[in-house]
Structure 1
Amino acid sequence: MNLTFKLNNILFLDIETVPQEESWENVPLSTQALFAKKTQYQRKEEFTAKEFYDRAGIWAEFGKIICISVGYFVDVENEKQLRVTSFYGDDEHKILTDFKVLLDKHFAKKSNILCAHNGKEFDFPFIARRMIVHQIELPKKLNLFGKKPWEVAHLDTLELWKFGDYKHYTSLKLLTSILGIPSPKDDIDGSEVAKVYYQEKDIERIVRYCEKDTVAVAQILLRFNNEDLVKDENIVSVD
């Protein structure tokens, strides 16, 4: 693709979300009614709102973020090193605040870009909406008000792969498979995150899954640019 920006200016990311409540019975009646109305088109006559609630995590109005994993390239002894870290836990406000601090301190320059797979449709707006819910001031990279399309510093590997074919969707798992990138979906997938979070209470497993997705997005961009994949020994987890 001959991408013209510097890889070191990109912050790769992925988020994991779950329904705000563990079970339908814990959802206030007023919210149940709103959820039923919001999902009526998707559910049609196949599911009740209660049966559909396990998917509530895909909507920022009814879901919450439990993990944001990020990755960024640094040059170490003439090799690319991908450093990965995560913000996670039960306190969504803290997750979002810590992520905002990262953006404001280290990725606020005009040259900095946020990159995710399907990020423009999901990750970026979901984070921004949840920040507004928590009354957190949006960082510059997520505040799109008044910006022209070419001024938005967001990169989406799904959009790049579409090549203008806007009806075409390719999952991260499929894209890594055809590009010869190790699959990030070797443990759980998105449909299982809520169960692992609420029932198994294994947030560390979710973090590992989220970080693998973040690494996969970075590797995909390297392949798009006809560059070598980053070696396993050069993928480093940092606190």
Structure 2
Amino acid sequence: MISKLNLENILFLDIETVPETQYFSDLDATKQELWEAKSKYQRKEDFSAEAFYDRAGIWAEFGKIICISVGYFTFKEETRTFRTTSFYGEEPQLLKAFKSLLLSHFSSTKHLLCAHNGKEFDFPYIARRMIIHNIELPYKLNLFGKKPWEVPHLDTLELWKFGDYKTYTSLKLLTNVLGIPSPKDDIDGSEVYKVYYETNDIQRIVNYCEKDTIAVAQIFLRLRGEAILKDEEIIHI
């Protein structure tokens, strides 16, 4: 039961991604052909491969990570705090910094990673981008040979499904129904591409990513039947 898990052993996280280049035309001819083939099912006849390219960030083969935000609980006597920090900048460097955090503070068998839809998106995306950049996978992301119960990942979407695999519940919807402040009060995922490539406002994306990370922790608290975080309990590092 999740109520028995030690909150201090969980690293909550969220990632933001964009297409690897700003424009479809920036891709070489081979990559353009591969994108056209990869995206054909999703875009159908409604969009050309070029018109659909602003959504390429959801595929690790055609996108890149621009921010990883993490958060973790600390308890001192009766005081509960949730500390957040973010890694952003050039992708190889932010991936190495995130890996360093895992190795230094979240590497034992008791530690777990938690994200919303993390098992389908965040965790495999990070692992794939690490491999692309020739970064050896840390234990927490290396799932080769692990049995299902040995995988150190928690997923608030999976927990909310309660075994129902027919539905998808967005982070925005779940925070709404659980009475948690919305993390989408400025931008949402569909706007990250423009904010990154057109306005070059990475700090705005970092703020958005950290809000999502906090929201994941808030959902986890509600699933445990505990009080959500107050603003004064959240510390940005």
Q: TM-score range by the shorter chain?
A: over 0.9
Matched residues in 2 for 1:132 and 1:116: separation? 20
- Letter matched to residue 201 of structure 2: D
CA apart distance, 1:123: 0.1
1:68-79 correspondence runs (5 A) = 68-79=68-79
Cα deviations by residue, 1:56-80 (Å, 9 ceiling, x for unpaired): 0000000000000000000134121
- Letter matched to residue 33 of structure 1: E
1:1-239 correspondence runs (5 A) = 3-89=3-89, 91-238=90-237
Higher deviation after alignment, 108-117 or 38-47: 38-47
Matched residues in 2 for 1:10 and 1:30: separation? 41
- Letter matched to residue 163 of structure 2: G
- Letter matched to residue 86 of structure 1: S
Cα deviations by residue, 1:23-69 (Å, 9 ceiling, x for unpaired): 11111111000001011111111111001100000000000000000
- Letter matched to residue 19 of structure 1: P
Task: Specify the SS of the correspondent of 1:13.
Answer: strand
The size of the alignment, in residue pairs, is 237
Matched residues in 2 for 1:13 and 1:163: separation? 21
Change in CA separation of 1:130 and 1:2 when aligned onto 2, cut-off 3 Å: closer
RMSD: 0.8
Point out where structure 1 has 5 or more consecutive residues left out of the alignment: none
Task: Specify the SS of the correspondent of 2:60.
Answer: coil
What is the TM-score of this pair, normalised by structure 1?
0.98
Task: Specify the SS of the correspondent of 1:49.
Answer: coil
Structure 1 segments, 4+ long, off by >3 Å, are none
Matched residues in 1 for 2:18 and 2:29: separation? 19
Task: Specify the SS of the correspondent of 1:109.
Answer: coil
Point out where structure 2 has 5 or more consecutive residues left out of the alignment: none
Task: Specify the SS of the correspondent of 1:176.
Answer: helix
CA apart distance, 1:2: 5.2
- Letter matched to residue 80 of structure 1: R
Matched residues in 2 for 1:131 and 1:191: separation? 24
Matched residues in 2 for 1:4 and 1:52: separation? 45
- Letter matched to residue 127 of structure 1: I
Matched residues in 2 for 1:188 and 1:76: separation? 34
Task: Specify the SS of the correspondent of 2:50.
Answer: helix
What is the TM-score of this pair, normalised by structure 2?
0.99
Matched residues in 1 for 2:26 and 2:68: separation? 25
CA apart distance, 1:130: 0.1
CA apart distance, 1:3: 2.6
